[in-house]
């Protein structure tokens, strides 16, 4: 019986990552094939079929390792957070060149030409990595022309190496984004997805799920009486939930109560959540 976390290590009874040889039993071991997400958002599922549960999502430009491909699905692992799951094969392509920019607004459109009057031909989420080969201007709006074809409003991008200084400000731009279990994009997001995406835009890759974040982000802290002493950027964890402090008294979180990213007073949230899930389990300071 292996003690390795299956969400973060690629192993099945029939097949495993060659790097795990000697740690887990498998019929055969393979080296992961380098690939990249080419869809705007790729759903990552527990099993290789469309009605399987959604575990997480990978974004356009995310690099992955593919260990198996069959019947229209790939079994793969993300480079940025190590998550393993099944992805529709159509969402995966070759790694060609290096991304030059990232989408820095919650969501944006791809147009077939640098002109907003053309029908859109795609959508991209915050965090998507793309390669820009040129810029063009139409009626005063500047566009980035993509190596893959199409164009995006240039003001919606940042150079790939440029990061936000304050991850909380990123989370705040996602206010009112719909809640989506397993979501980690500007089209739909869950509580730990909000933390992961916001911190990623600030240059810090953290693990995906709430339990992983509660065990590993920053250092645990103990607030004072009445939950005093907290500050902007502190994380509040419940069993299966996480929120971000925006100041000493208020939080922002992807809430299953409002079904969107919402602001709320910490004390009010604790009272509301308590009858179902109990009180906070840990506070952490990144």
pLDDT in tens, 208-227: 999 999 999 999 999 999 99
| Cα separation, 152 vs 178, whole angstroms | 23
Q: Give the pTM.
A: 0.97
pLDDT tens by residue, 214-261: 999 999 999 999 999 999 999 999 999 999 999 999 999 999 999 999
**What's the pLDDT at 173?**
98
Alpha helix segments (H runs only) across 68-179? 167-173
Task: Look at residue 137 in the predicted model and tell me its pLDDT.
Answer: 98
167, 233 Cβ separation under 8 angstroms: yes
How far apart CA 30 and CA 262 sit, in angstroms, is 44
How, if at all, do strands 73-78 and 84-88 pair? Answer: antiparallel
What pLDDT score was predicted for residue 221? 97
Task: Please name each of the domains of the chain with its CATH number.
Answer: 16-93 (2.30.30.40), 101-159 (2.30.30), 167-285 (3.90.1720.10)
pLDDT tens, position by position, 18-29? 999 999 999 999
Question: Mean pLDDT, the chain, as a whole number?
Answer: 97
Residue 108 pLDDT more than 60? yes
Closest to 236 measured CA to CA, from 181, 168, 166 = 168
| DSSP state letter for 119 | P
């Amino acid at each position: 019986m292996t003690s390795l976390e299956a969400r973060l290590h690629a192993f099945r009874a029939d097949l495993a990552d060659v790097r795990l040889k000697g740690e887990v039993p498998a019929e055969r071991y393979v080296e992961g094939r380098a690939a990249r997400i080419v869809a705007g958002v790729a759903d990552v599922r527990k099993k290789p079929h469309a009605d399987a549960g959604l575990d997480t999502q990978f974004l356009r430009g995310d690099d992955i390792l593919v260990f198996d491909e069959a019947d229209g699905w790939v079994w793969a692992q993300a480079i940025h957070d190590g998550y393993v799951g099944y992805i529709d094969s159509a969402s995966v392509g070759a790694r060609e060149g290096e991304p030059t920019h990232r989408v820095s607004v919650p969501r944006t459109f791809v147009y077939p030409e640098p002109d907003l009057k053309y029908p859109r031909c795609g959508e991209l989420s915050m965090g998507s990595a793309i390669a820009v080969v040129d810029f063009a201007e139409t009626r005063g709006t500047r566009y980035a022309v993509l190596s893959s074809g199409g164009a995006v409003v240039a003001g919606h991008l940042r150079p790939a190496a440029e990061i936000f200084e304050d991850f909380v400000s990123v989370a705040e731009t996602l206010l009112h984004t719909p809640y989506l279990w397993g979501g980690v994009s500007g089209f739909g997001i869950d509580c730990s997805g909000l933390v992961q995406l916001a911190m990623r835009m600030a240059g810090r890759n953290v693990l995906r799920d709430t339990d992983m974040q509660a065990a590993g982000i920053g250092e645990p802290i103990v607030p004072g009486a009445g939950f005093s002493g907290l500050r902007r950027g502190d994380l509040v964890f419940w069993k299966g939930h996480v929120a971000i402090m925006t100041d000493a008294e208020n939080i922002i979180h992807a809430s299953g109560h409002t079904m969107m990213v919402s602001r709320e007073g910490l004390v009010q949230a604790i009272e509301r959540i308590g009858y179902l899930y109990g009180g906070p389990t840990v506070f952490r300071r990144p």
